[in-house]
C-alpha cells in the first residue's frame, strides 16, 4: 500500500495523464519510463536510445541518472537500488526507488516543476573557468559497464583523470535514508572567520570577493576527500585536487557572483527607499512619530474664562515607538529569501554572516516599505481630520455671523432691505469661495498622494519584472546547455559506433581477401598435383601396355 501511495502521489504531483494504480503489478518498467520521460522530457528519450535494451540495466541507469542530477538536493548514492528485484516486482526495492523519486519531485523548485527541466549546476560566467568534464566522463560516471568495455587509449586521453566522476560506493546492504543524507562538501571551516571578515570589508567598500577562490586555499580533510570520491593512500597524505574538486570550487565561485549581484540590487533598492522616505519626510513632515499633545482648534467665539488659550504652532520633538510596527498580512518568505535559502542549502561552506547581512538588508527594506505605506495612510487620515475640523469651524463661524446679522437686523430695523440683501449675498459668496477652496485643497492633496503611490508601485513592479526576466534568462540558458550536452553525447556515441563498425568492416574485408588468396593458392596446388598424378598414371598405363604386349608376343610366339 505504501508503494501504491507513493506512486499515486508522484502521478498527482507531476499531473500525469495515466490512471491511478491499484495493484503492485502496475508498477512496472513502463511506469518508470513514463515518470522519467515526464521529468526529463525529450532529453531522456535521447539518453535511453543509446543504452542497451535491457530492462534491469536501463532501470539501473535511471537510478544513476537520478543520483547524478539530484546531487545538489541530497548527497546520496543509488547503487543499492537493485534493478532485477524491481523488474521482479519485489516490494522493498520498489518502495526505496519510489521514495527517492518522490523526494526528488518534492524538492524541485517551482520554476522547474512545470517545464520538464531539472535543476542542475549553475552556469559559470567566463568560458575559461568552465569545468573540464567531457561527455565521456558523464557517460562513464553513469554507466560503469560501458566505461569498462570502451576503455581505449583515446578515451583515456580525452579526460584529465582516470577516475570516474561519481560518488563513493558504500555497502549495498545498508539503505541510507534521505533524512540522514549528509552534504557532499567536506571543506575545513578553520578559515571561515577570516573569509567572513574579508567579505564584510568587501561589502562596506562595494568590492566583490570570489568565495570559491578562498575556499580552495583551506586545508581539505582526508575524510572529506574520501566522501567526495577521491582515493587516499593514508589519512595524513591526501592526493592533489582532481577535476571533481575543481567543479565544486567553480560552483562556489558562481554562488559568490550571484551573491554579489543580489547585494548590489538590495543596496540600490535601499538607497531608493531611503531617498523616497527622505522626500516624504521633507514634504509632509515626520509622520512616523506620535505627538503626546492634544490638538486644540481655534474657535470663532471668545473664551468665556479669563485664562489664555494656547495653540500648538511648532512640531513636537520626535518620540520613538516602543514596539516596532508589525505587518498583519506578512508573507512567510519572499521569492528572494526563498532563493537564498535554496542556494545556502546547496553551498553550506559559504560563511553565514554574508547571507545573514543580506537577509537583514532585505528585512529592513521590507520594513521601510511597510512603514512608508503606513505613514502615507496616517498622513491621509490626519489631513482628512484637519479638513473636516476646518469645515466644522467654518460652519460655526458662518452660523455665528448669521446670528449676529439677525441681531443687527433687530437692532437696526431702519436700514433698507437692499443693504440686507447685499450682506446676505456677501455671506453666500464668502461661503462658496471658502467651500470651493477647501474642495480644491482636498482634491489636490488626494491627487498628489495617488501619484506618489503609483510611482512607488511602478518602481516595485519594475524591480520584480527585472528579477523575473533574469531568472527566465538563466533557465533558458540552462535548458539550451543541457540540450547541447545531450546532442554532443549522442553524436559522440554515434561516432564511436560508426568507428567500431568501420573497424569491423575493414577487419572482415582483410580476412576475406586473405581467405580468397589462400583458396586460389590451394586451387593452383591441387591443379598441379592432379596434372602430375594424371601424367604419372598415363606413364604407368603406357608401361603396362608395353609389358602386356611384350608378354603377349612372347606367349604366342
DSSP state of 24: G
Task: Say if residue 230's pLDDT is above 80.
Answer: no
The per-residue pLDDT for 263 is 58
Tell me how far CA of residue 139 lies from CA of 43, 61, 106, 158, 499, in angstroms. 14, 10, 27, 13, 18
Quick check: is 61 in a domain?
yes
Q: Which of 1 and 301 is assigned the larger pLDDT?
A: 1
Helix (H, G, I), strand (E, B) or coil at 187: strand
Q: What's the pLDDT tens digit per position in 480-521?
A: 999 999 999 999 999 999 999 999 999 999 999 999 999 999
pLDDT digits 0-9 by tens, 135-181 = 445 444 544 444 444 444 443 433 333 333 333 333 333 333 333 33
pLDDT at 204: 39
Q: Which comes out higher in pLDDT, residue 438 or 291?
A: 438
Beta-carbon contacts of residue 161 (< 8 Å; ≥ 6 apart) = 242, 243
pLDDT bucket at 471, cuts 50 / 70 / 90: very high
Q: DSSP characters for 207-244?
A: ----HHHHHHTSPBPHHHHHHHT---SBTTBPPPP-HH
181: left (phi over 0), alpha (psi -120 to 50) or beta: beta
Residue 72 confidence (pLDDT): 55
For residue 268, the SS3 value is: helix
Measured distance CA(189)–CA(348) in Å, rounded: 10
Which three three-digit cell numbers place residue 384?
482628512
Which helix (DSSP H) or strand (DSSP E) does residue 301 occupy? none
- Cα–chain-centroid distance for residue 335? 11
Residue 217 has pLDDT above 50, yes or no: no
- Give residues with Cβ within 8 angstroms of 255, minimum separation 6: 122, 211, 212, 343, 346, 347, 350
Least confident interval from 53-57, 186-190, 316-320, 408-412? 186-190
Mean pLDDT of 460-489: 92
Q: What is the pLDDT of residue 367?
A: 82
The residues pairing with 187 across neighbouring beta strands, listed in sequence order, are: 220
Of the two residues 28 and 357, the one the predictor is more confident about is: 28
Residue 78: the pLDDT is 65
Kindly report, residue by residue over 238-276, the tens digit of the pLDDT: 445 455 556 555 655 555 565 555 555 666 666 766 777
Residue 440 falls inside a structural domain: no
Q: What is residue 481's predicted lDDT score, i.e. its pLDDT?
A: 92
Per-residue pLDDT tens for 75-113? 566 666 777 788 887 888 888 888 888 887 877 654 444
Asked whether residue 70 is assigned to any structural domain, the reply reads yes
Residue 449 lies in a domain: no
Question: Looking at the domain assignment, is residue 551 inside a domain?
Answer: no
How would you class 42 by CB atoms within 10 Å of its CB: exposed for 0-12, middle for 13-18, buried for 19 or more?
Answer: exposed
Q: How many Å apart are CA 288 and CA 335, to the nearest integer?
A: 28
Average pLDDT, the chain: 66
Please check whether residue 150 lies inside any domain of the structure: no
Q: What is the pLDDT of residue 35?
A: 83
Q: Helices (H) and strands (E) in the chain — how many of each?
A: 17, 0
Asked if the structure places residue 74 within a domain, the reply is yes
The residues near 62 (Cβ < 8 Å, ≥ 6 apart) are: 32, 36
| Rounded Cα distance, 220 and 238, in Å | 8
Integer angstrom CA distances of residue 275 from 206, 464, 467: 19, 19, 22
With CA atoms as reference, report the closest residue to 400 among 412, 392, 388, 389: 392
Q: Give the contacts of 198 (CB within 8 A, at least 6 positions apart).
A: 209, 214
Tell me the pLDDT tens digit for each residue of 345-364: 655 555 556 667 767 777 87
CA distance 63 to 101: 9
**208 pLDDT more than 70:** no
pLDDT digits (tens, 9 = 90+) for 332-349: 444 344 555 665 565 555
What is the distance between the alpha carbons of residues 404 and 231, in angstroms, rounded to a whole number?
106
Residue 198's pLDDT band (boundaries 50, 70, 90)? very low
Q: How many domains does the chain have?
A: 1
- pLDDT tens sequence across 387-425: 888 888 888 888 888 888 787 777 777 766 677 778 888
Cell (9 digits) for 539: 606413364
Instruction: Look at residues 141, 137, 135, 146 and name the one whose alpha carbon lies nearest to residue 54.
Output: 146
Q: pLDDT class for 297, splitting at 50, 70, 90?
A: very low
Strand partners, 237: 234
Residues in the chain: 557
Separation between Cα atoms, residue 133 and residue 489, nearest integer Å: 12
Provide the domain limits for residue 37: 1-120
Burial group, residue 383, by CB count within 10 angstroms (0-12, 13-18, 19+) = middle
Q: 436 with 428: CB under 8 angstroms?
A: no
Q: What is the pLDDT of residue 249?
A: 58
What is the average pLDDT across 282-302? 49
pLDDT at 470: 93
* pLDDT reading at 37 higher than 70: yes
pLDDT at 346: 58
Amino acid at each position: 500500500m505504501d508503494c501504491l501511495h507513493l506512486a499515486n502521489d508522484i502521478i498527482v504531483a507531476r499531473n500525469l495523464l495515466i490512471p491511478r494504480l491499484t495493484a503492485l503489478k502496475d508498477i512496472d518498467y513502463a511506469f518508470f519510463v513514463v515518470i522519467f520521460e515526464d521529468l526529463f522530457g525529450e532529453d531522456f528519450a535521447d539518453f535511453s536510445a543509446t543504452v542497451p535494451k535491457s530492462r534491469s540495466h536501463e532501470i539501473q541507469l535511471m537510478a544513476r541518472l537520478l543520483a547524478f542530477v539530484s546531487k545538489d538536493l541530497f548527497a546520496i548514492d543509488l547503487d543499492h537500488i537493485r534493478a532485477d528485484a524491481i523488474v521482479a516486482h519485489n516490494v522493498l526495492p520498489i518502495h526505496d526507488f519510489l521514495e527517492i523519486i518522490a523526494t526528488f519531485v518534492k524538492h524541485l523548485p517551482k520554476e522547474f516543476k512545470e517545464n520538464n527541466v531539472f535543476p542542475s549546476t549553475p552556469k559559470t560566467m567566463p568560458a575559461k573557468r568552465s569545468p573540464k568534464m567531457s561527455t565521456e566522463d558523464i557517460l562513464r560516471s553513469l554507466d560503469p559497464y560501458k566505461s569498462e568495455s570502451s576503455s581505449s587509449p583515446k578515451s583515456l586521453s580525452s579526460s584529465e583523470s582516470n577516475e570516474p566522476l561519481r560518488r563513493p560506493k558504500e555497502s549495498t546492504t545498508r539503505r541510507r535514508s534521505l533524512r540522514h543524507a549528509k552534504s557532499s562538501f567536506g571543506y575545513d571551516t578553520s578559515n571561515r572567520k577570516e573569509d567572513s571578515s574579508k567579505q564584510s570589508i568587501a561589502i562596506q567598500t562595494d568590492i566583490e570577493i570570489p568565495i570559491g577562490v578562498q575556499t580552495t586555499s583551506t586545508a581539505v580533510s582526508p575524510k572529506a576527500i574520501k566522501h567526495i570520491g577521491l582515493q587516499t593512500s593514508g589519512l595524513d597524505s591526501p592526493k592533489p585536487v582532481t577535476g571533481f574538486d575543481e567543479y565544486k570550487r567553480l560552483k562556489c565561485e558562481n554562488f559568490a557572483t550571484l551573491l554579489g549581484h543580489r547585494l548590489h540590487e538590495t543596496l540600490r533598492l535601499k538607497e531608493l527607499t531611503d531617498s523616497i522616505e527622505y522626500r516624504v519626510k521633507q514634504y509632509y513632515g515626520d509622520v512616523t512619530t506620535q505627538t503626546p499633545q492634544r490638538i486644540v482648534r481655534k474657535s470663532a467665539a471668545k473664551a468665556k474664562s479669563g485664562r489664555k488659550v494656547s495653540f500648538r504652532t511648532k512640531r513636537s520633538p520626535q518620540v520613538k515607538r516602543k514596539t516596532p510596527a508589525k505587518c498583519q498580512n506578512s508573507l512567510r518568505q519572499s521569492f528572494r529569501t526563498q532563493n537564498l535559502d535554496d542556494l545556502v542549502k546547496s553551498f553550506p561552506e559559504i560563511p553565514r554572516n554574508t547571507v545573514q547581512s543580506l537577509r537583514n538588508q532585505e528585512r529592513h527594506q521590507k520594513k521601510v516599505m511597510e512603514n512608508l505605506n503606513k505613514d502615507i495612510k496616517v498622513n491621509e487620515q490626519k489631513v482628512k481630520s484637519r479638513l473636516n475640523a476646518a469645515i466644522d469651524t467654518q460652519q460655526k463661524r458662518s452660523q455665528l455671523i448669521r446670528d449676529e446679522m439677525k441681531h443687527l437686523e433687530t437692532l437696526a430695523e431702519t436700514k433698507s432691505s437692499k443693504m440686507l440683501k447685499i450682506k446676505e449675498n456677501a455671506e453666500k459668496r464668502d461661503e462658496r469661495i471658502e467651500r470651493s477652496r477647501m474642495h480644491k485643497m482636498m482634491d489636490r492633496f488626494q491627487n498628489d498622494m495617488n501619484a506618489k503611490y503609483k510611482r512607488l508601485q511602478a518602481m516595485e513592479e519594475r524591480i520584480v519584472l527585472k528579477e523575473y526576466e533574469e531568472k527566465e534568462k538563466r533557465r533558458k540558458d540552462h535548458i539550451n546547455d543541457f540540450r547541447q550536452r545531450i546532442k554532443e553525447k549522442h553524436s559522440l556515441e554515434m561516432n564511436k559506433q560508426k568507428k567500431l563498425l568501420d573497424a569491423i568492416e575493414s577487419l572482415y574485408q582483410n580476412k576475406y581477401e586473405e581467405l580468397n588468396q589462400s583458396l586460389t593458392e590451394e586451387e593452383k596446388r591441387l591443379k598441379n598435383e592432379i596434372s602430375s598424378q594424371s601424367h604419372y598414371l598415363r606413364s604407368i598405363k603406357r608401361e603396362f601396355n608395353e609389358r602386356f604386349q611384350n608378354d603377349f608376343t612372347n606367349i604366342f610366339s
